[in-house]
Chain A
Amino acid sequence: MHRKVKKAKLKEDISPNVVPMIDIMFLLLLFFMLGADMSQREAIEISIPRAKNVPEPKDVEAKDKVTVTVNIHHATPSGAPCPLNDNNGICREEDHWQWQIMGVDYPREEMKKQLVVIAQDNLEPVADTAAGVKLSALFLLIRADEKAPYGDVQKLTEYAGLAKIYKIQLAANKPLPGEK
């Protein structure tokens, strides 16, 4: 007897539904794209001092405000490691402390000239009554590493004064929660 076995044709679709995953990935992508900072970094990654009373940064800065950021950071001229600094010590080798604007390290004398050039491009419209000359309208933001020698900040301030830049700003971070 021929028995006809009718196989149940079960067509099972086991492909996963990827649409929710794509949705989430799109959202993640959007988040990271908007959060990414692709601009040329003026502020390099250095450990700047913490100060509880530092004013909060304003979200909207004045449109005509020109700020030049000078970073004072530790880097050996040859790129060789500095054992003292690498072991969290305080390095006082003069040529290990670099002054940097927009990613370029300038020697001290070169920085002095650079500041004069930048300051001259941003003069205030009228001469200052106290100084008797036109001063620079430029803001100079000093971002010095917490271990940087104060002498470097003093020297940079002196050069700023000679270049007629008087609006100096000193960068500091708010302490982290729980930190003194």
Chain B
Amino acid sequence: MAGGGEAEDNPLPINVVPMVDIIFCLCVFFMCSFKFRETEGKFDSWLPKDKGEGGAPDPGPLQEMRVIMTWDQSAGLSRAYMHKKVKDDTELEACIREAHDDFVAKNKPDIPLIIDGGASVPWKEIMTVVNIGKALQVKNLEFAMGVADKPPPK
């Protein structure tokens, strides 16, 4: 820290005013440009190496947990787990949890959770399902491609 002292003690007083001015300017500049950044994480989502553009063959009925999502400007978001329409995140999580626990009990923990979303679905809604899958420790999360925006069954 800079020391104090009486003015008489200093035979060569230094005019600090220009320095203070400059420091003020620098301070203002850095304060204005300063921004707190939020912690940003990322989910790893490796693409399959051994599958072509056509995707994987259908593993058959009930060998998957499929969430169907569509979005419409007037009706908003519609979600269905398999063939059952779900109202909110809690219900969707309960459906996935039940199915996943069942597959784990049958020694099939690799059965995928397939996110089957229409092209207009907001990205936030897709990430909500990814988050539910991660929370339930679903090992295999898949994204279905090329689905038209059709409303799920009622």
Q: Please report the total number of A residues contacting B with Cβ < 8 Å.
A: 62
Give A57 to B127 CA distance when docked, in angstroms. Answer: 17
In the complex, chain B residues 1-42 whose Cβ is within 8 Å of any chain A Cβ = 1-4, 7, 16, 19-20, 23-24, 26-27, 30-31, 33-35, 37-42
**Nearest chain-B residue to A174 (Cβ)?**
B39
A125: interface (CB < 8 Å): no
Minimum Cβ distance to chain B for residue A23 (Å): 5
Q: Is B38 touching A32 in the complex (CB atoms < 8 A)?
A: no
Secondary structure dominating the interface of A: mixed
Among the listed stretches B57-65, B79-87, B101-109, B128-136, which one makes contact with chain A, having 4 or more residues with CB under 8 Å of it? B128-136
Q: Is B122 touching A149 in the complex (CB atoms < 8 A)?
A: yes
Minimum Cβ distance to chain B for residue A102 (Å): 17
Secondary structure dominating the interface of B: mixed
**Nearest chain-B residue to A175 (Cβ)?**
B131
**Nearest chain-A residue to B44 (Cβ)?**
A169
B119: interface (CB < 8 Å): yes
Give A158 to B54 CA distance when docked, in angstroms. Answer: 11
Give A68 to B47 CA distance when docked, in angstroms. Answer: 16
Minimum Cβ distance to chain A for residue B126 (Å): 5
